[in-house]
Amino acid sequence: MQAQNYDAIVVGSGISGGWAAKELTEKGLRVLLLERGKNIEHVKDYPNATKAPWEYPHRGGRTQAMEHDYPVLKRDYPLNEKNLDWWASDKDSPYTEVKRFDWYRGYHVGGRSLMWGRQSYRWSDFDFEANAREGVAVDWPIRYADIAQWYDYVERHAGISGSREGLAQLPDGQFQPAMPLNCGEELIAGRVKTKFGGRRRIIPGRTANATVALPGRSACQYRNACWLGCPFGGYFSTQSSTLPAAMATGRLTLKPFAIVTEVLYDRNTKRATGVRVLDAVSEQTTDYKARIIFLCASTLNSTWLLLRSATDVWPGGLGSSSGELGHNLMDHHFRVGASGTIEEPGLAAKYYYGRRPTGFYIPRYRNLFGDKRPYLRGFGYQGGASRQGWSRAVAELGVGGAFKDAMAQPGDWTIGGTAFGEMLPNHANRVTLDPNKKDKWGLPVLAIDCATGENERLMRKDMMNDMAELLEAAGVKRVRTYDNDYWPGMGIHEMGTARMGRDPKTSVLNAHNQVWDAPNVFVTDGSCMVSTACPNPSLTYMALTARAADFAVAELKRNSL
């Protein structure tokens, strides 16, 4: 077996892996980027990107055959006709649900950066300090000051549009001009600001959609078809943003269909030496050597790989000496909120043009600035206002020509918001290897045992009722609340299982995302998170990855790795 040598190996090509590849190659390293799935080339491999709605036989819906083939994916919106090819096969890659856990995966170059929701928010010291202040889990080993410059750095390259609001709990960034609120949202935002004295605010969603062209990328064309891949490069993805930068250095080798089965570890040097790769197609095994290894395979997949590695030294896997590897799995809980109708005479004569790929955001206000609730932490809302389309016709009485013509015209202005809540870390929420079940390639699958707790249950009451209260205070009519139930994983914001920390006895990674037990192994995807905050996490993965890459290269130059 011939080993092949690189300066660095990056496992996974999604949001985090793309950043690792870009940063490490730009700093002069020869990098091997490994992706377990197929390649997807920018623009060329976006077969549905410019299809019209009527070109899909089922108009985007799901067939009985699809439901049969995707028993997990069918539980929520990802099972659809338009980009089904970009969601991992439940059959090839099964897992064990000790408790129900919805795991929605993208196994291809670019990973979920191609299908992500693109909401991009900075976390604040309210988030980084929360565990320490409340005695929950362990303290984050970093503070906002450690990551602020890296937020600046990744925002400039990724292209984040947003408005500067001066909010302590949601720091401003290096924004491109925001995608503005529409007239319905603007009206309600003004009233909310007045009614709640500025404590609750409706602001434009901050999104990784460019409003100003970037090198090699056009500004957003307002098609709102992002999750099919954007032929304009209008949103941040590995393909549109980080991969071209890494490729441009001439130092990147991208290898699709490369399943990393284990990290190779030398017990004498106490360093990883490389990785073992199983070719997903030929099933041939090859070892690759490198001086540093970045695990960016996604939250559960990076941990899954660690659990399978160096088991001759630690039966629980590489990074398990703390007893925390696989533990503290978290997500954002959501699917709860309220909506209503804006019955404002003037608005009937208002409309909008273009399909904006974002909405509004309501930053967290609970348990901040003197507010005190019977639960810890808080939540934010994502929402929007729009005029109803034809689908309102299904519930309305009517058939015939006049009905048809009326339904082809925009209806009432409606507005609604869904809360995304923080989920506390809990040692009992964990993943392990299931020795009794194997995937298509013979690897023992993950067993996932995760549930929400009392804190989340209490928070959900506010998450639902606060939105109704806000809408009613702003004069919205026919307000209806909903709680559509939530199961861990549905947020597709899975975090934790290889947390950072200050102490090798209680954490898997240090403040620079190094595995305590193997300092040349860095884990910079969502696995590293110590708590979830409530804003969407991907921007923080980008910043942590860029920061860790900078540190790793500096350490390499000092020969301390």
| CA gap 138, 322 in Å, rounded | 12
Report if residue 485 touches other proteins, rule: CB under 8 A: no
- The smaller minimum CB distance to other proteins, of residues 389 and 453, is found at 389
Burial (Cβ within 10 Å: 0-12, 13-18, ≥19) of residue 171: middle
- H/E element, 551: helix 538-557
- The smaller minimum CB distance to other proteins, of residues 189 and 498, is found at 189
| CA gap 35, 31 in Å, rounded | 13
Report if residue 345 touches other proteins, rule: CB under 8 A: no
For residue 277, the minimal CB distance to other proteins (Å) is: 35
Residue among 166, 250, 312, 353 that touches other proteins (CB under 8 A): 353
For residue 480, the minimal CB distance to other proteins (Å) is: 15
Report if residue 145 touches other proteins, rule: CB under 8 A: no
Residue among 38, 163, 171, 180 that touches other proteins (CB under 8 A): 180
For residue 343, the minimal CB distance to other proteins (Å) is: 16
Per residue, what are the HEC states of 10-42? EECCCHHHHHHHHHHHHCCCCEEEECCCECCCC
**Cβ–Cβ < 8 Å for 407, 393:** yes
**Cβ–Cβ < 8 Å for 10, 254:** no
- The smaller minimum CB distance to other proteins, of residues 393 and 451, is found at 393
- The smaller minimum CB distance to other proteins, of residues 281 and 348, is found at 348
Residue among 135, 268, 315, 405 that touches other proteins (CB under 8 A): 405
Residue among 212, 408, 428, 554 that touches other proteins (CB under 8 A): 408
Report if residue 387 touches other proteins, rule: CB under 8 A: yes
Report if residue 50 touches other proteins, rule: CB under 8 A: yes
For residue 307, the minimal CB distance to other proteins (Å) is: 37
Counting residues that bind other proteins (by CB under 8 A) gives 58
The distance between the two most distant Cα atoms of the chain, rounded to a whole number of Å, is: 81
- The smaller minimum CB distance to other proteins, of residues 51 and 437, is found at 51
Ramachandran sector of residue 436 (left: φ over 0; alpha: ψ -120 to 50; beta: rest): alpha
The strand pairing partners of 265, in sequence order, are: 272
Report if residue 59 touches other proteins, rule: CB under 8 A: yes
For residue 400, the minimal CB distance to other proteins (Å) is: 5
| CA gap 491, 298 in Å, rounded | 14
List C-alpha distances in Å: 425 to 138, 328, 330, 419, 440: 9, 5, 6, 19, 32
**Cβ–Cβ < 8 Å for 252, 242:** no
With H, G, I as helix, E, B as strand and everything else as coil, classify residue 369.
coil
Stretch that binds other proteins, among 51-59, 97-105, 194-202, 434-442 (CB under 8 A): 51-59
What order do you get walking across the sheet with 477-483 strand by strand? 203-204, 360-362, 379-387, 413-421, 336-342, 477-483
**Cβ–Cβ < 8 Å for 325, 317:** yes
| CA gap 498, 326 in Å, rounded | 6
- H/E element, 380: strand 379-387
The label of the residue with tokens 């300092």 reads 519
With H, G, I as helix, E, B as strand and everything else as coil, classify residue 444.
strand
Report if residue 348 touches other proteins, rule: CB under 8 A: yes
**Cβ–Cβ < 8 Å for 448, 101:** yes
The label of the residue with tokens 């017990």 reads 267
Q: For the window 181-200, what string marks contact with other proteins as x by the rule CB under 8 A?
A: xxx--x--------------
Q: For the window 70-99, what string marks contact with other proteins as x by the rule CB under 8 A?
A: ------------x-----------------
Residue among 9, 225, 338, 528 that touches other proteins (CB under 8 A): 225
Report if residue 284 touches other proteins, rule: CB under 8 A: no
For residue 106, the minimal CB distance to other proteins (Å) is: 17
The label of the residue with tokens 């925002």 reads 155
Residue among 409, 427, 503, 557 that touches other proteins (CB under 8 A): 409
Residue among 410, 444, 475, 504 that touches other proteins (CB under 8 A): 410
Report if residue 389 touches other proteins, rule: CB under 8 A: yes
Stretch that binds other proteins, among 271-279, 320-328, 399-407, 496-504 (CB under 8 A): 399-407
Query: Can you say how many angstroms the Cα of residue 121 is from the centroid of all Cα atoms in its chain?
Result: 11
Report if residue 136 touches other proteins, rule: CB under 8 A: no
List C-alpha distances in Å: 41 to 85, 280, 383: 14, 19, 32
Residue among 394, 435, 485, 559 that touches other proteins (CB under 8 A): 394
Residue among 74, 75, 193, 223 that touches other proteins (CB under 8 A): 223
Interface residue list for other proteins (CB under 8 A) = 48, 50-54, 57-65, 82, 179-183, 186, 221-225, 227-228, 348-356, 387, 389-391, 393-395, 397-405, 407-410
